[in-house]
Structure formats: C-alpha cells, structure tokens
Amino acid sequence: MSTGKIFVAKKNGVYVLKFTGDVRLTLCAALDEFVDKMAAEPDLSAVIIDLCDAEGVDSTALGFIAKISIITKDKLELVPTIISSNPDITRIIVSMGFEQVFKIIKHRVDRDDALDELKEVYRSEETLKEKVIEAHKILMGLNGKNRETFQELVAMLEAS
C-alpha cells in the first residue's frame, strides 16, 4: 500500500477532502485540526469526502471522518457525501454505520477541484493517544456494534 495523503479544496463554501493511499493515524492530528477550522468557517455549505483512491483507512481516520458528519449535521442540518468506488473501502464504511450519517455514492464523480495536500502535524504521543480515543468514541457513538468493537480499545487507552 502507498503512503496515505489527504488533499483538500474549498470552492464557494463546498469543502472537498480526497484521501489517497493508506490513510493512518499519522495524518489524524492534521485532519482533526482541518475539520475544526472547516467547522468554524461561516460559509461552510457542503462537504464531499472522496475515498476513491484510498487503499486503506484506519479506524482513527474513520472516527474523524465521522466527526465531519456530526459537525455538518449540527451546523448545517446537512448530511455530507462520501464517494467510494473501492468495494473494500465501501464495505468498511458501511460496516461502521456510515450510511446512517453520510450520503454514499459508489462510483467515481468527475471533478476539477484544485486540491492542496494536508500535511502531517506532529504531536506528542499523549496528544495522539487523546486523538485516537476521541476518534474511537465518535465511532462508538454511531451504533451499538461499533461500541462493542471499540469499547475495550478505548478503555485500555484511557487506562494507560
């Protein structure tokens, strides 16, 4: 698998996040900061998350993707869109319950967005642990299956 990257663009209040390669914990601090900045934008009107070129997305990244849905629903009363043409990625997001909080499109959509790479943000081990816990608690809040799946992990991380 290739190293994961996240690219972002904004046009007329519409934010596009494109995930490529194998997106892991190392990008989650940057993703979380970006999501918080995006949520504070007064012209935020829609969010599109493109996972077509993602080869893998770990559960921490999935937690921060779920956070996007929570924010847009609270702020805009709007459901964001995920584009996923990769059946493996689509299976993962559906198994996490994302179809309840996102509109999922299962085929590529041609876009001409000029995307900027979201660079890794280096944080202390303690801060990263807090981000992992936050992301998994978000996933746990989506449904009972996720709560059961991640409960032990979160308890172990909080105890350490």
* Domain spans, the chain: 5-122
Q: Which residues contact 38 (CB under 8 A, 6 or more apart)?
A: 15, 44, 47, 68, 71
Min mean pLDDT across 41-45, 85-89, 92-96, 124-128 is at 124-128
Cβ contact 101:78 at 8 Å: no
CATH architecture label of 5-122 = 2-Layer Sandwich (3.30)
Q: Kindly indicate the confidence band of residue 87, based on its pLDDT and cuts at 50, 70 and 90.
A: very high
Neighbours of 98 (CB within 10 A): 23
Residue 111 has pLDDT above 70, yes or no: no
> What's the pTM?
0.85
* Residue type present at position 56: G
> What's the pLDDT at 82?
97
Q: Kindly indicate the confidence band of residue 151, based on its pLDDT and cuts at 50, 70 and 90.
A: very high
